[in-house]
């Protein structure tokens, strides 16, 4: 485990190859039940470069009219989100030690040219709870800044099987994905083959 900035901890290779494949099977099942969709930026309505879905009692999404928010149902099918797999709940308990379980797991699927702009996770009511992120597939250049968008930032490479937990002083820091690293295109585990280059899971406590 290494501390990237105060409150943000990276666990390299937290999941071995077998663990990654097991998690990939779980996420493939989530995608089958709750198909991937594209969220849109508030105001501009421009599509995001990642496809996404969710599991848990709440799911994150965004559109031009209502902006960033959590909803209990899939925006296209109208169905409730599937439950968070027990494997992820166990990892949450092991790495965060937070007394309440996550309510949302956002599944972001990156193509090899997708990215995620610098942003804060502040659509939740509970900022005391940390955020847990897990990576599958291609490496990416992940960036952490400060609590202001203009603050100096640091970059770290996240690889398949890595876990990242950030809370406390890092909970409201700006962060994002500069790019998927084309020279490090490790394929997604077989259950997710063909979905994209990289899958990121972000577990959050919302209420």
pLDDT score of 186: 75
**What pLDDT sits at residue 20?**
96
Tell me which DSSP letter residue 93 carries. H
pLDDT score at 43: 85
193, pLDDT greater than 90: no
Q: How many domains does the chain have?
A: 1
**How far is it, in rounded angstroms, from Cα 89 to Cα 103?**
10
Domain hosting 73: range is 2-204
Mean pLDDT score of the chain? 95
Angle between helices 86-96 and 17-33 (to 10 degrees): 120
- Cβ–Cβ < 8 Å for 105, 203: yes
Percent share of the chain, pLDDT over 70: 99
> How far, in Å, CA of 166 to CA of 109, rounded?
21
Average the pLDDT over 87-106 and give the result.
Answer: 97
Question: Strand 163-166 relative to strand 8-11: parallel, antiparallel, unpaired?
Answer: antiparallel
Structure tokens at 159: 């690889």
**What is the C-alpha separation between 101 and 58, in angstroms, rounded?**
12
Q: Count the alpha carbons within 13 Å of 15 in the hemisphere toward its beta carbon.
A: 25
Question: CA 119, 86, 106 angle in degrees (round to 5)?
Answer: 20
Q: Write the pLDDT tens digit of every residue in 8-42.
A: 999 999 999 999 999 999 999 999 999 999 999 99
CATH for 122: 2.60.120.590
**pLDDT (tens digit per residue) in 156-189:** 999 999 999 999 999 999 999 999 997 666 789 9
Per the structure block, which two tokens stand in for 71?
């909803």
What's the confidence (pLDDT) of residue 184?
67
Interval 47-59 mean pLDDT = 97
């Amino acid at each position: 485990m290494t501390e990237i900035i105060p409150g943000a901890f990276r666990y390299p290779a937290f999941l071995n190859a077998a663990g990654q494949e097991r998690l990939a099977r779980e996420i493939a099942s989530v995608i089958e039940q709750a198909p991937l969709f594209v969220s849109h930026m508030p105001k501009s309505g421009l599509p995001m470069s990642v496809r996404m879905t969710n599991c848990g009692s709440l799911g994150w999404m965004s559109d031009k009219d209502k902006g960033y928010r959590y909803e209990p149902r899939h925006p296209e099918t109208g169905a409730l989100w599937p439950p968070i797999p027990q494997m992820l709940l166990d990892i949450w308990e092991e790495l965060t030690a937070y007394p309440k379980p996550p309510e949302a797991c956002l599944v972001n699927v990156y193509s090899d040219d997708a990215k995620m702009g610098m942003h804060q996770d502040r659509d939740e009511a509970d900022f005391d709870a940390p955020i847990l992120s897990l990576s599958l597939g291609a490496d990416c250049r992940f960036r952490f800044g400060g609590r202001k968008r203009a603050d100096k930032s640091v970059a770290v490479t996240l690889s398949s099987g890595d876990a990242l937990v950030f809370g406390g002083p890092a909970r409201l820091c700006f962060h994002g994905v500069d790019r998927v690293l084309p020279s490090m295109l490790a394929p997604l585990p077989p259950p997710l083959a063909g979905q994209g280059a990289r899958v990121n899971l972000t577990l959050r406590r919302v209420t």
